[in-house]
Amino acid sequence: MREFKRLTPYREALEMMLKDLGELNEIEEVPLSEAFGRVLAEDVVSPMDSPPFDRSAVDGYALRAEDTFPAREYSPVELRVVDEITAGEESRARVEPGTAIKLMTGSKMPEGANAVLMQEMAERDGDIIRVLRPVAPGQNVAFAGEDVRKGEIILRKGQVLRPQDLALLKSVGFRTVKVKRKPRVGIIVTGDELIEEFNEEALKAGKLLESNSAMLKGLVRQYFSEPIFYGVVPDKEEAIKSVIEKAKKENDLVLVTGGSAFGDKDFAHRFVKLLFHGTTIKPGRPIGYGEGVFIMSGYPVAVFAQFHLFVKHALAKFVGAKNYEVRIRAKLTDRIPSQLGRYEFVKVWYENGEARPIKKKGSGMISALVESNGYIEIPEDSEGYLEGDIVIVVIY
């Protein structure tokens, strides 16, 4: 049997793959209401100061701070209220010495005023308010440009847009945003042994229920991309060849599961010029990549590891995504031995600052994936980690 002549070290394989893939050029302009989870195509510069004017941060009285400096509880300062405005209104009056203007949270500061006294701190009596304590200049004022300055870069290219990013864009007048087109990812599942529906007879005769398509569709969606499923293809050289060619034409990336090794029925790698085939990752060693096509394992757990170690980063490269991973520190609850020379993908359950390795072994163990919420990577030159070691967990 042919075996891999050389296992490409993980980092080397990753670099080769990332170098081979270009960033997508196509940009879509979408309404903010549809931009959640999309990836920003360019830096965004604010067209205005925000707030655009000095405004009150509270409901209260705009005044001259100097006027209130002598104020004491036993000897209040009295000011005359010369106007009253609501939010969104502008006062035509000016705050002259000895006067104040009543306004609301968000109101534009009237001319002459440099501070706001909170409504509940003033004693009102007709046109007069009594101020019991001094107000500092600038108090309760939100200054123009305090949140964002005109011309400032407020969001960077590659940002996976979150609700607060959309709010910031809207607050400076944007109604749409330029995002990268979603990468299209073709999914091809191969294997004569696979069936799509529960069938007791077929299972008894050795068939297997296919589960990679459901998993990969979800994973592709999770990483800002659009899955297109090409169905389960039997292990026939011609069938596999033609579906791979079709999928390559229609997608930015193609994922083929099954047939990644060198068995008699492993055809997929014959139709793709692979940059690497066989890596140090464990599980998922037989992964191959070339021409925008990943040849992946058949077993879901291996496919899952291959997705997180390779495919996820390819999708991020397509759109230039930056904040697409949550990497946290945790203390290991148990030691994890690791084989020298293998780049291990270890499933863990993270909770309360601790990472507990999931012990179930075997690439058929989908339940182990379900019991985990993240993974640890152990490089080739490490024999593993000890109980109590601090490790980096990537949350999924």
Site for a second copy in 271-310 (CB under 8 A): 298-300, 304
Judge contact between 91 and 101, C-beta under 8 A.
Answer: yes
Choose between 45 and 245: whose C-beta lies nearer to a second copy: 45
Q: Please list every residue from 204 through 243 that binds a second copy, using CB under 8 A.
A: 204-219, 221-222, 229, 235
With binding defined as CB under 8 A, does residue 11 bind a second copy?
Answer: no
With binding defined as CB under 8 A, does residue 261 bind a second copy?
Answer: yes
With binding defined as CB under 8 A, does residue 390 bind a second copy?
Answer: yes
Binding a second copy (rule: CB under 8 A), the pick from 14, 40, 62, 154 is 154
Cα 268 to its chain centre, rounded Å, is 32
Would strands 128-131 and 122-125 be described as parallel, antiparallel, or unpaired? Answer: antiparallel
- Span interacting with a second copy, options 154-162, 239-247, 270-278, 380-388, rule CB under 8 A: 154-162
- Largest Cα–Cα distance in the chain? 98
Choose between 171 and 333: whose C-beta lies nearer to a second copy: 171
Choose between 12 and 43: whose C-beta lies nearer to a second copy: 43
Tokens 């196509």 belong to residue? 26
The 10 Å Cβ neighbour count of residue 173 is 11
Q: Please list every residue from 159 through 178 that binds a second copy, using CB under 8 A.
A: 161-175
The C-alpha atoms of residue 244 and residue 186 are separated, in whole angstroms, by: 9
With binding defined as CB under 8 A, does residue 45 bind a second copy?
Answer: no
CB of 193 to a second copy, least distance (A): 3
Choose between 275 and 366: whose C-beta lies nearer to a second copy: 366
The C-alpha atoms of residue 333 and residue 327 are separated, in whole angstroms, by: 18
Q: Please list every residue from 364 through 383 that binds a second copy, using CB under 8 A.
A: 364-367, 369-370, 372-373
The C-alpha atoms of residue 91 and residue 88 are separated, in whole angstroms, by: 10
Judge contact between 332 and 350, C-beta under 8 A.
Answer: no
| Helices then strands, each counted (H, E), the chain | 9, 28
- Span interacting with a second copy, options 73-81, 129-137, 178-186, 201-209, rule CB under 8 A: 201-209
Binding a second copy (rule: CB under 8 A), the pick from 95, 101, 117, 148 is 148
The C-alpha atoms of residue 144 and residue 164 are separated, in whole angstroms, by: 20
Q: Which of 367, 374, 387 is nearest to 345 (CA)?
A: 374
Choose between 69 and 167: whose C-beta lies nearer to a second copy: 167
Choose between 20 and 349: whose C-beta lies nearer to a second copy: 349
Would strands 343-351 and 281-282 be described as parallel, antiparallel, or unpaired? Answer: parallel
